[in-house]
Amino acid sequence: MTTARYQKGCISQSLNGSGTKVWIFRWYEVLPDGKRIRKKRQIGTLEEYKTKVAAEKAVLGLQLSINTHKPEFRSVTMGQLIQHFREKELVDKGEEGRAWSTRDRYESYLSHWIEPRWREANLHDIKTPMVEEWLSKLQRQAKKTPRIGLPQTTGAGKVPLARATKAKIRNLMSVLFNHAIRWDFAACNPISGPNRGSGVRQSSKRMSVPDVLDVAELQAIIANLQLRERVMLFLDMATGLRRGELCGIKWKDIDFENLLIDVRRSVVDQVVGRCKTEASEKPVPLDEYMAIDLLEWFRYTQYRDPEDWVFASNSNRAGRKRGKQPLWLSTVMRYHIQPVVRKLGIKKRVSWHTFRHTYSTLLKANGEDVKVVQELLRHGSSRITLDVYTQAQMPAKRAAQQRIVAMVRQDAGRLPRGTATQALGTQ
């Protein structure tokens, strides 16, 4: 008895019931008794896939599905695997699937980095050293005004891709190979390797340390903002909300009586989705001062219904969506907050995430319990809280050092400021 051969199927144009031209994919399905039956599926319209090549790319995942159970089928390309991954994993599965922001980030890495390089490669031909070498050479287009602390460039040159971004690309490739193993398209994962340390090595160490603001800088920024921006910044700084969570608050989510905010959704690029993790959906305490600020904004804004966004778009350019969609917080940062930061002479890089890092650092500086800080930031583990978000401030580090010196040197007291400098001056 001969084994059924790998099927590529065929694609042709046809008319659907409404007379619209569509692409049809046809193949044979082999039944357990050996009988073959014809199968077909509509792929999309000619407006969706303008060429046959585009339609053929759209059926790569389907080709894998119809050949999955053939034991001799092992020649799968990365392009086919990516398309299959999109159809099975990068779709909205509600609470069981990945958040929209995660799917969007995955799609960006796939289309910009992984697919262009590895689309035609067979999975069994992709080896650990090849991927490692490729990652080491990845570059991006340089920005005209690079961030402080990063390599300066002139013109539109190329700079190395950030190590953290390379690590995320590496991790996504590992996810792809795990998907291939699960569907029996591959037998091993060359990205993670069979043993710890045997896979692709890629550091995720930052190229620069995230800036945090001190109390005086925060006070100066807040004092120079208008009401809306002042409420947004103070709410973000004193709760540690992520940008999408801050954007996604509705008036019905705020419990003024019990001083709580229910974090129920996250808005990324105007797409409303669920929060990043289960821990992210925990209620956030609301301080009385923040509640007073929010009530002041409530009296000022014209969008006050329970279903209205707390920070709704009020721009004339929004048209019919005016008041029905949240603000673009990146625009608020660019045109309302960052100009104030520059005017005050603050040289630090300030974004919405800066306030989350600052919140974590100030909590730790105040001696708060690590578990409390983790719960306030709604992290899945305290390791992320300490390793990624929290920084020790110089006064706290200096005080800790002085306590050790005092233990070792019994005559060590608190010397007047500038004593060491004066001593050096006498040499």
- In the chain the domains, ranked by start, together with CATH numbers, are 10-143+155-182 (no CATH), 215-394 (1.10.443.10)
Please report the pLDDT score of residue 117 as a whole number: 94
pLDDT tens across 213-244, in order?
Answer: 988 999 999 999 999 999 999 888 888 888 88
Interval 286-329: pLDDT, tens: 888 888 999 999 999 999 999 999 999 987 777 777 888 999 99
Separation CA 245–CA 283 (nearest Å): 12
Higher pLDDT, 95 or 336: 336
Q: Which residues contact 370 (CB under 8 A, 6 or more apart)?
A: 364, 382, 385, 386
Residue 145 has pLDDT above 70, yes or no: no
Q: What is the mean pLDDT of residues 114-129?
A: 92
254 pairs with which residues across the strands? 261
Residue 116 is predicted with a pLDDT of 94
pTM passes above 0.85: no
How much is the pLDDT for 374? 77
Residues 73, 213: Cα–Cα separation, whole Å: 57
For residue 37, what are the β-bridge partners?
29
Rounded Cα–Cα distance for residues 27 and 197 (Å): 43
> pLDDT value at position 305?
93
CA distances (Å), origin 382, targets 10, 271, 376: 53, 29, 11
**Contact call for residues 20 and 45 (beta carbons, < 8 A):** yes
Mean pLDDT computed over every residue of the chain:
80
* Higher per-residue pLDDT: 420 or 16: 16
For residues 333 and 225, the answer to whether their CB atoms sit within 8 Å is no
Per residue in 182-199, pLDDT (tens digit) is 887 887 899 998 888 789
Distance CA 171, CA 177 (A): 10
